[in-house]
Structure 1
Amino acid sequence: MHKRLKLGMVGGGQGAFIGAVHRIAARIDDEFELVAGALSSNPDNARKSAAQLGISPERAYTDFSEMAKAEAAREDGIDAVSIVTPNHMHFPVAKAFLEQNINVICDKPLTSSLDEAKQLQDIAANSEAEFVLTHNYSGYPMVREARHLVQSGALGALRRINVEYVQDWLSIPINDPDNKQATWRADPKRAGKGGAIADIGTHALQLANFITEQHPAKVAADLTSFVEGRLVDDDAHMLMRYPDGAKGYLWASQVAPGNENSLRIQIYGENAGLTWAQENPNQLWFSPLNAPKQLLTRGGHGTSNLSRDITRVPPGHPEGYLEGFATIYREAADIIRNGRMQSCLLPTLEEGLFGMKFIHAAIQSSENDATWTQI
């Protein structure tokens, strides 16, 4: 038995979406207790949000820098901070807490620019704290099972890695200033230069990287802003080349009517293929060459310990989005208590840095008529 770790949060106040997701995920395995927060850039909202969540007034901060210093000075200070702000705040908030040697659990993407990502890498290298990036889809059991199949050699040498993340919720102009989730994502000052490529394209990229343990070396990208007046891309289509000869395809779109959160990956090797779709996350199709397709289910017969170890409920019961986040938090708690283990599957700062290099290369490629660009 162990005590819950003390968690702080920056962002995620009243009216925010992702903060509530992180708070639920942090409690699913009873690893964390939220005790402090700078929950909004608006001081009044920050205090009201903290009171609503049961945070005591003396730990309801209105400034994240003040919070980092104050919590580091307390005997009962937080063990980790969860950063759930728009992209442009990831760097300054992470910097403030890493410099106080407080562990960081940060929403993706890593930062809003490649330069900030490189600076953050240097800051983290000089900190005693751990850094975890919440690419939650890598915490799904059947994604772990897909990784196991690739690792085991069941697919043979990889040939094709096709991944897409497609939505429709930004198909029309944003006219409602109260739609916080949409407005900041369409603002390059807060989101960075990348739109769909940063918001959901990085999820698709990390999913492919995680399952295959390969990273593309070059990209040829065509980024488009289909909605008139939009200042960031809302559709990203690209080809990828891998060092070992595999070829890849990535499509990220937020303007594809009829799609909600259609994250889907197909991987083909010389001996077999596999297919996984986030909207039906408890199933994984494995297709051996010249043999019947096999439907593997979460917790079902024939699955490995890599997926079974993070399965929480009996087979046949739905398990997905929140539990994927919870796996990230549970494994973050493990490394905070015990140090980073060699077998740790958590997304790291280095993975986030690669994501920022990918965004940067994709934008460069698109600006040069989709020429092949080194990542």
Structure 2
Amino acid sequence: MARLRMGMIGGGPGAFIGPVHRIAAELDREIELVAGVFSSDAGRSRAGGEAYRIDPDRAYPSLDAMFAAEKAREDGIDFVAIVSPNHHHLPAAKAALEAGYPVLSDKPMTATLAEAKELGGVVAQAGLPYGLSYTYSGYPLVREARARVAAGAIGSVRKVVVEYPQGWLAGEATGKQAEWRVDPAKSGAGGCIGDIGVHAFHLAEFITGLRVTELLADLAAVVPGRALDDDCTVLLRFDNGARGVLLASQIEVGELNGLRIRLYGEKGGLIWRQETPNELTFHSIDGSTQVIRAGDAAIGPDARAATRTPGGHPEGYLEAFANLYRDFAKQLRGEPGSLIPGIDDGLRGMAFIDTAVRASADRAGWTVLQV
């Protein structure tokens, strides 16, 4: 089976997420990074190509240059990965799709809901695969939790509590990774809500299979002088009547990447933590507790397919990311079994960000979430 050839947009010198995408894409040897526009600056793009050890002639100064040159090659790229800040997502994805290339993009889908709707139209017109790297949906035990909820293991879902605490922006936002995230021109309307809150939102809907219909949001810029929110509290109502709480913060000193979700139904509860991702706790209404571990014989086919090592050999962030790339490769090849988040997930995520920001600013109370 021939490897798929990837072109990368963004991810140049100093980027965190670019190398993560490259490692994840190549982990299963189904995809190879061969080209890219790693920066809007030609020199930095060349430097990015050198760091990724690709052919220097394939580190391009612009999107137009990459698409024209790759179209002319027999071994040209098969798709593009967009790993740049949010304000680049729409123009980069639009250019790629109109040039005939499928797209795997970092989340959130775009900087604004209006841009997301525009991109949705471009995807529909192009008729090409479009995926989003909601990383946590790639973890084996997240997929196990999803399967167990769907099978009725906890009965009808009654309560969802999803938390995403970080502390790295509790002080001054310094450095490339921090600076663009607190800049509305680059991040979009949402700060913390768009950076990590949308991850929590997607995880809640992905695992439960439910849809948020209304929310009540309280977003704050806690650090003085900050233009975008850095602390978020959102109450949720789901389409089956379940209630939820979403907490996301980047000013909780001492917190690292503490994403956690708790689901409670009429027959039991499930708990998963990103910082201990190889354990899923199941509480039964009869009082018993079971700890399901990655690699256990009892896990189902979705989790098993996402697991690479025997039980007791920890897998984590990079492997989860690689599962998304493997799913996207399946989609490109027309194979079944892909769980890659797509255009609908992207639109719902942007609608969540937009609704939460507006509702909080207007002190609007309960607000309908509409895509």
- Fold-level similarity (TM above 0.5): yes
- The 5 Å alignment of 1:130-145 reads 130-145=129-144
Alpha-carbon shift at residue 57 of structure 1 (Å): 2.9
- What per-residue deviation string (whole Å, max 9, x for no partner) do you get for residues 177-203 of structure 1? xx1000000100000010000000011
Q: Say if 2:330 and 2:338, in contact at 8 Å, map to a contact too.
A: no
CA apart distance, 1:76: 2.2
TM score, norm. by length of structure 1: 0.96
The correspondence for 2:343, drawn from 336, 349, 357, is 349
Q: 1:128: Cα distance to partner?
A: 3.4
- Counterpart-to-counterpart distance in 2, 1:370 and 1:313: 49
Deviation at 1:139, TM superposition (A): 0.5
How much has 1:71 moved relative to structure 2? 2.3
* Alignment match, 1:160: 159
Residues 71, 129 of structure 1: CA spacing in aligned structure 2 closer, same or farther, 3 A cutoff? farther
1:327 matched residue in structure 2: 323
- What TM-score does the superposition give when structure 2 sets the normalisation length? 0.97
1:303-339 Cα deviation digits (max 9, x unpaired) = 2122111110110111010000000001111111126
Partner of 2:182: 186
Residue 370 (structure 1) shift: 5.0
Distance in structure 2 (CA, Å) of the matches to 1:327 and 1:370: 39
Of stretches 102-111 and 343-352 in structure 1, the one that deviates more from structure 2 is 343-352
Residue number in structure 2 paired with 1:288 = 284
Structure 1: unaligned runs, 5 residues or longer? none
Partner Cα separation in structure 1 for residue 71 and residue 193 of structure 2: 36
Verify the 8 A CA contact 1:222 1:370 in the aligned structure 2. no
Q: 2:366 aligns with which of 369, 372, 375?
A: 372
Q: Cα deviation per residue 1:327-372 (whole Å; 9 max; x = unaligned)? A: 0001111111126x4x531100110110000011101110122511
| 1:300 equivalenced with 2:299 (yes/no) | no
Aligned mates of 2:231, 2:14 — CA distance in 1 = 27
* Residue identity matched to 2:253: P
Counterpart of 1:363? 357
Report the aligned-residue RMSD. 1.1
Sequence identity percentage: 48
Counterpart residue identity of residue 158, structure 2: R
Note the C-alpha offset of 1:292: 1.0
SS in 2 for 1:200: helix
Number of the residue aligned with 1:201: 197
Deviations 1:132-157 (A, max 9, x none): 10001001000011001101111111
CA offset at residue 68 of structure 1? 2.7
Paired residue type of 2:250? Q
For the 8 Å contact 1:139–1:327, the answer to whether it is kept is: yes
Distance 2:119 2:344 in 1: 10
Map 1:50-69; keep pairs closer than 5 Å: 50-69=49-68
- Secondary structure at 1:222 match in 2: strand
Q: Which residue of the other structure, out of 244, 260, 264, is the alignment partner of 1:264?
A: 260
Q: Deviations over 1:260-315 (max 9, x none)?
A: 00000000000110000000000000011023111000011322122111110110
| Aligned counterparts of 1:74 and 1:219: Cα–Cα separation in 2 | 50
Tell me which residue corresponds to 2:235.
Answer: 239
Instruction: Spell out the pairing of 1:11-30 with structure 2 (5 A cutoff).
Output: 11-30=10-29
For 1:345 and 1:121, locate their aligned partners in 2 and report how far apart those are by CA, in whole Å: 19
In the other structure, the counterpart of 2:81 is 82
Q: Which amino acid aligns with 1:165?
A: Y
Matches of 1:349 and 1:74 in 2, distance apart? 29
